[in-house]
């Protein structure tokens, strides 16, 4: 199942229409729309970090979100980039604490990438930077709440530039139109995630030889459960993409980068393995 979280109903409107989502009448504390056949559930959190964290945690608990599921946060953001540009967020910073989070870019996508800074209130002025920087009010809280249930490779943040620091000039209709203009891009990305989720549910996902190699890799990299899950997802993506992941792993052994001497070294080798598989 893919769980979508938007701050406002106008951000959700085009997605609700595209996937024919129906409102769950039993849920009265905040709006939830779903289509079980499509594998999509959407929650409207309300604006701001506290509301976003509460709703994200509540939904993930209520529906037992976990292995094989995905969290996606589509919405608008301020920034100096061209209005209407859809960005994939590769870095999330919480302005209040200075903490930075990194969603794991496991799945290929066609979007330009940018960092997003989550602020307590709408920004009135955005900074000129060499690389695009966006500003919103929910991403960091959704990430932190979602991280209690999902790995960083299961969470994606898609932001469309709505203004350069003049939020009062952005109407609900303009916001709805921005999402609608990108609904094919958003649904295309969700379709890709659904294919990965479908493969996750299949018991025959990995053959016996795959499982043997993965178990050896877990041991040689001193993997925690989270590291093991990340490796499985990266190998799964390589299989879906038709890549020979075994040659990548074999090369790391030949280069004496495996086995690792410690868990810390294993984490470094995991990052290298990710890069090579992508």
What integer pLDDT is reported at residue 262 of this predicted model?
93
SS3 131: coil
Q: What angle do CA 223, 226, 230 make, to 5 degrees?
A: 90
pLDDT at position 233, please?
A: 78
Concatenated DSSP letters for 51-108? HHHHHHHHHHHHTT--TT-EEEEEEEEEESSPTT-EEEEEEEEETTT--EE-----S-
Which architecture does CATH list for 2-200? 3-Layer(aba) Sandwich (3.40)
* CA-closest candidate to residue 92, choices 132, 150, 164, 143: 143
Q: Where are the domains of the chain?
A: 2-200, 206-277
**How do the pLDDT tens digits run along the chain, 278 residues long?**
999 999 999 999 999 999 999 999 988 899 999 999 999 999 999 999 999 999 999 999 999 998 889 999 999 999 999 999 999 999 999 999 999 999 877 667 889 999 999 999 988 877 667 678 999 999 999 999 999 999 888 999 999 999 998 888 899 999 999 999 999 999 999 998 888 766 555 444 678 888 999 999 999 999 988 788 888 878 877 776 678 899 999 999 999 999 999 999 999 999 899 888 87
- What radius of gyration do the chain's Cα atoms show? 19
Return the structure tokens found at 13: 């409107």
| pLDDT value for 204 | 47
SS3 label, residue 118: strand
Q: What is the pLDDT of residue 203?
A: 44
Q: Provide the H-helix boundaries in the chain.
A: 9-19, 49-62, 139-146, 172-181, 183-201, 208-220, 225-240, 245-254, 263-277
Q: Between the CA of residue 49 and those of 107, 136, 162, 232, what are the distances in Å?
A: 27, 10, 19, 32
Residue 235: per-residue pLDDT: 86
Tokens 């960092």 appear where?
Answer: 115
Place of tokens 């709805």: 176
Which residue is it, tokens 């969700």?
A: 190
Q: What is the DSSP letter of 168?
A: G
């Amino acid at each position: 199942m893919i769980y979508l979280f938007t701050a406002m109903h106008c951000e959700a409107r085009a997605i609700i229409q595209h996937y024919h989502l129906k409102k769950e009448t039993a849920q009265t504390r905040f709006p939830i729309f779903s289509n079980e056949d499509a594998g999509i559930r959407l929650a409207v959190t309300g604006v701001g970090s506290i509301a976003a964290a509460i709703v994200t945690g509540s939904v993930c608990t209520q529906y037992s979100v976990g292995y094989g599921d995905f969290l996606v946060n589509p919405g608008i953001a301020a920034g100096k980039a061209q209005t209407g540009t859809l960005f994939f967020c590769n870095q999330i910073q919480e302005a209040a604490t200075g903490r930075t989070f990194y969603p794991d870019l496991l799945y290929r996508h066609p979007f330009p990438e940018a960092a997003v800074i989550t602020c307590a209130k709408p920004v009135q002025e955005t900074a000129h930077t060499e690389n695009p920087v966006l500003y919103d009010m929910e991403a960091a809280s959704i990430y932190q709440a979602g991280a209690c249930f999902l790995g960083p490779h299961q969470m994606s943040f898609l932001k469309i530039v709505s203004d350069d620091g003049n939020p009062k000039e952005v109407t609900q209709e303009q916001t709805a139109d921005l999402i609608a203009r990108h609904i094919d891009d958003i649904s295309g990305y969700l379709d890709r995630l659904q294919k990965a989720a479908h493969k996750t549910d299949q018991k025959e996902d990995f053959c016996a030889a795959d499982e043997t190699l993965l178990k050896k890799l877990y041991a040689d990299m001193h993997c925690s459960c989270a590291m093991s899950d990340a490796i499985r997802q990266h190998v799964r993506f390589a299989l879906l993409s038709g890549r020979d992941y075994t040659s990548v792993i074999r090369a790391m052994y030949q280069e004496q980068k495996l086995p690792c001497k410690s868990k810390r070294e294993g984490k470094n080798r995991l990052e290298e393995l990710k890069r090579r598989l992508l």
